[in-house]
Amino acid sequence: MRIVLALPLLLVAGLVRPARAQGVAEVQVTPETLTLGIGQKQDLFAAAFDKQGNLLPTARFAFGSSDTTIARVSPEGTVVGLRAGLARIEVRAQERRVAVAVFVTAPGGTLTAAARDSLATASSAPAVGGLAAAIALDPAALSLLPGETGRFTARPLRGDGTPAAPVALTWKSLRLAVATVGSDGSVTGIAAGEGVIQVVGRGGLGATASVSVAPGDFVLSPPIFAQPPQMVDTLRAVVPLQRNRLIGGGLTWRSADSAVVRVGPTGIVQTLAPGEADVIASGFGQERRTHVIVYRRAEIFFLSPRPASGPVQVPLDGSVTVTARAEAADSSPVPQAPVVWEVGDSAIATFDPGAGRIIAHRLGTTSLTARLTGFDPAIWVIAVVPGDIALDRTRLGLPVGEHTSLAVAFADSQGGARGAPSGVTWLSDRPGIIAVGGDGTVSALAPGHATAMARTPWGRNAWADVFVTGDFLLSTNRQGKGFGIYQGRVGTPDVLTAVLVDTSANLQAVWSPDRTRIAFSSNRLGTYDLYVMDADGRNARALTSDLGSESEPAWTPDGARLIYSSARGGASQLHSIRADGEDMRPLTATPGGNGAAAVSPDGRTIAFTSARDGNQEIYIMDADGSNQRRITATPAREASPRFFPNGDLAYIVDRGGRGGSALVRQPAGSTVSAPLFEEAATIISFALSRDGTRVAYVTGRMAADSRGGTQFALFLRSLTPVGPAAPVSLGPAEQPVTPSF
The pLDDT of residue 64 is: 94
Q: Is the pTM of this model over 0.75?
A: no
663-693 pLDDT tens trace: 999 999 998 999 999 999 999 999 999 999 9
pLDDT confidence tier of residue 416, bands split at 50, 70 and 90: low
Q: Which of 94-103, 261-270, 585-594, 608-617 has the lowest mean pLDDT?
A: 94-103
715-736 pLDDT tens trace: 999 999 999 999 999 988 889 9
The pLDDT of residue 643 is: 98
For residue 264, how far is the Cα from the chain centroid?
46
DSSP string for 434-475: EEE-TTSEEEE-SSEEEEEEEE-TTS-EEEEEEEEE-SEEEE
Q: Mean pLDDT for the chain?
A: 88
The proportion of the chain whose per-residue pLDDT surpasses 70, expressed as a percent, equals 91
The pLDDT of residue 596 is: 96
pLDDT confidence tier of residue 703, bands split at 50, 70 and 90: low
149-195 pLDDT tens trace: 999 999 888 878 888 888 888 999 999 999 999 999 999 999 999 99
Please list the residues that pair with 326 across neighbouring strands.
301
Q: Are the CB atoms for 715 and 699 separated by under 8 Å? A: yes
The answer on pLDDT for 2 being more than 70 is no
The H or E element containing residue 120 is helix 113-123
**Closest-CA residue to 246 (of 264, 234, 231):** 234
The pLDDT of residue 476 is: 94
The answer on pLDDT for 313 being more than 80 is yes
The pLDDT of residue 633 is: 81
The answer on pLDDT for 122 being more than 50 is no
DSSP string for 238-292: EEGGGTTEEP-SS-EEEES-TTTEEE-TTSEEEE-SSEEEEEEEEETTEEEEEEE
The pLDDT of residue 356 is: 94
The answer on pLDDT for 414 being more than 60 is no
pLDDT confidence tier of residue 101, bands split at 50, 70 and 90: confident
Average pLDDT over every residue of 97-113: 72
Average pLDDT over every residue of 534-538: 96
The pLDDT of residue 420 is: 80
The pLDDT of residue 705 is: 57
42-78 pLDDT tens trace: 888 788 878 876 778 788 899 999 999 999 999 988 9
CA dist., res. 421 & res. 424, Å (int): 7
DSSP string for 543-572: S---SSEEEEEEE-TTSSEEEEEEESSSS-
pLDDT confidence tier of residue 84, bands split at 50, 70 and 90: confident
The values of phi and psi at residue 242, to 5°, are -115, 45
The answer on pLDDT for 131 being more than 90 is no
628-658 pLDDT tens trace: 999 998 888 999 999 999 999 999 999 876 7
CA dist., res. 470 & res. 488, Å (int): 5
The pLDDT of residue 702 is: 72
The pLDDT of residue 569 is: 72
pLDDT confidence tier of residue 113, bands split at 50, 70 and 90: low
The answer on pLDDT for 617 being more than 90 is yes
The pLDDT of residue 664 is: 96
Average pLDDT over every residue of 546-560: 94
β-bridge pairing 149-151 and 275-283 = unpaired
- Residue 204, by phi and psi: left (phi above 0), alpha (psi -120 to 50) or beta? left
Give 695-703's long-range contacts (Cβ < 8 A, gap of 24+): 695/650, 695/663, 695/719, 696/472, 696/474, 696/739, 696/741, 697/663, 697/739, 698/736, 698/737, 698/738, 698/739, 699/661
193-202, 458-467, 619-628: which is most confident: 619-628
**Does residue 504 or residue 733 have the better pLDDT?**
504
CA dist., res. 568 & res. 565, Å (int): 10
Average pLDDT over every residue of 378-397: 91
The answer on pLDDT for 110 being more than 50 is no
How would you write 643-664 as a 3-class SS string?
ECCCCCEEEEEECHHHCCEEEE
